[in-house]
Structure 1
Amino acid sequence: MAEPDPVHPTLSDGVVSLRALEAEALLHSFIVLAEDGPVGQLAIQELGDAVGQLTWATDQSYQRRGFATRAVRLATDYAFGALRLDRVQAEVDARNHPALRIAARAGLRREGLLRGYRTIEGERHDRVLLARLASDPGPETQAGFIGLVNSTLPRTRLIAHVVIRDNQGRIMLAETTYKTDWELPGGVVETFESPREGAARETWEELGIELPIGKLLCVDWLPPWRGWDDAVELLFDGGIHGPELLSRLTLQPREIRRVEFCTLEQARERCLPGTHRRLVAVVGAPEGRVLYLERGAPPGSTEPIF
């Protein structure tokens, strides 16, 4: 076993200690100590540009007792202080949920997924990339806690479409260039954009006209489908307009081939079943009621997904 490094003092939080071993170039190795004995190992590898890579392992008999979390916190503080690093990161096997929790509790935020990044027993496996910056608030603070939780919360697509009708009650549908089924004007809401603002922006980009975005008509949850993750779709009222509206449009040619006011029967022929169900529900809803749907139907429906 390597000898303790006399240059680096032992780090401790009163429960767990890190005893430094002799450094090898840019690799800083530690024995993790608790309860008067070794319980694991930890290392910080300097990668250059003030970035460090953190790895750790806890002996099986000492797992699930909080020692690893304390050790990773101590090592991270040491990296920012004595080593003057600006960033400490870790790559954790996506299947190793205890290690992911340890990293999060120590203040490392989830940044992304490295798909097929490591080969284990002849198979490619994903790794989760987590990191903490020297400028990040500590995990024990409110700001640090919020940052950690935000980095791990699910990200669900939010879609905002607009129901634009004519005097005959028909609904404007668009034939797009990138799929065969027709859709309502609108699209995916951008990060930090309100759904209503997203609906207005998408309508402007697709149709070249600013339309007033009215009240919310419907909230619809869409399950995973054809490689897409799940999503939430909102339908907003786009008002009732005369036939001259079509002549005022300037369509985005990269996305929209044409638009027409369509009856519900025409929508059945041109749209996905879920889209048609959603339109039927909105048109038939009592005045002023906002619908909650799943797959375009009331929760519990056995209708096909799309």
Structure 2
Amino acid sequence: MRPAQTPTPADPEAWNAYLAEGNAKQARKRVAADVLLRDGSDRVLLVNPTYKPGWDLPGGMAEANEPPEEAVRRELVEELGLHVTLRGLLVVDWVAPHGPWDDQLAFIFDGGTLDQDQADRLRPRDEELSEAAFVTAAEAGFRLRERIRRRFEGALKALDAGRPLYLRDGTPLM
């Protein structure tokens, strides 16, 4: 028996079925998107999630087929009622599988500096956060869990350098 030929774009229905089959077999990545937001005193915004231990940067997980920058904007509105203009990408971190989790891509975007009125009015808006606080970078280092702390430190370096960093499990590779 002769093997079937690979479909070509000349037969759009067969071609799309062939591509869909290949797509279904490829790995899916979880995507997290956070933001580095500062106040006029150069403190950084941290949030205290109710669904996991420790403090975190504002943001969260992208939904299916949602771009990371849209995910972080959506999360800011849902959790803090905050609309920001992102100023660029600071970090992409490939996070290795750990515990029950597969690998993921974690992004940190630069959210710039909030004016004092915005910073003063900031409060959690849903049940996912118990607190939001502006803290110094040093204090953030104590509050953040190790994995996010390394990513946060990378974001600060990227901000100072004026260019994004690629990390692997929080460690710069380039």
**Into which bin does the TM-score normalised by the smaller protein fall?**
0.7 to 0.9
> Aligned runs of 1:275-286 on 2, under 5 Å?
275-285=148-158, 286=160
User: Size of the alignment, in residue pairs?
Assistant: 169
* Unaligned segments of structure 1, at least 5 residues: 1-14, 17-65, 71-104, 106-135, 301-306
More strand by share: 1
**2:99 corresponds to 1:226:** yes
C-alpha change, 1:155 and 1:247, in structure 2 (3 Å) is same
Q: What is the aligned partner in structure 1 of residue 29 from structure 2? A: 156
Q: What is the aligned partner in structure 1 of residue 47 from structure 2? A: 174
* Unaligned segments of structure 2, at least 5 residues: 7-11
Q: In 1, distance between residues paired with 2:126 and 2:67? A: 26
Deviation by residue 1:217-249 (Cα, 9 ceiling, x = unmatched): 110011112211110001111111234323333
C-alpha change, 1:168 and 1:247, in structure 2 (3 Å) is closer
Q: What is the aligned partner in structure 2 of residue 185 from structure 1? A: 58
Q: In 2, distance between residues paired with 1:292 and 1:201? A: 24
Report if the CA contact (8 A) 2:123-2:132 is conserved. Answer: no
Q: What is the aligned partner in structure 1 of residue 172 from structure 2? A: 298
1:292 Cα deviation (Å)? 0.3
Q: Give me the TM-score of the superposition, normalised by structure 2.
A: 0.86
1:266 Cα deviation (Å)? 1.3
The residue type equivalent to 1:195 in the other structure is P
1:171 Cα deviation (Å)? 1.1
Report if the CA contact (8 A) 1:282-1:291 is conserved. Answer: yes
**2:87 corresponds to 1:214:** yes
The residue type equivalent to 1:291 in the other structure is L
**2:148 corresponds to 1:272:** no
1:167 Cα deviation (Å)? 2.0
> Aligned runs of 1:1-306 on 2, under 5 Å?
15=1, 137-138=13-14, 141=15, 143-285=16-158, 286-299=160-173
Deviation by residue 1:178-206 (Cα, 9 ceiling, x = unmatched): 12211111111112221111110011111
Relative contact order, CA 8 A, sep 6+: which one is greater?
2
Report if the CA contact (8 A) 2:123-2:131 is conserved. Answer: no
1:281 Cα deviation (Å)? 2.0
Report if the CA contact (8 A) 2:78-2:126 is conserved. Answer: no
1:155 Cα deviation (Å)? 0.4
Report if the CA contact (8 A) 1:160-1:236 is conserved. Answer: yes
Report if the CA contact (8 A) 1:159-1:188 is conserved. Answer: yes
More helix by share: 2
1:299 Cα deviation (Å)? 3.3
The residue type equivalent to 1:260 in the other structure is A
Partner-residue secondary structure (3-state), 2:171: coil
1:291 Cα deviation (Å)? 0.3
Q: In 1, distance between residues paired with 2:135 and 2:87? A: 20
Query: Which structure has the larger Rg over C-alpha atoms?
Result: 1
1:250 Cα deviation (Å)? 4.4
Report if the CA contact (8 A) 2:48-2:56 is conserved. Answer: yes
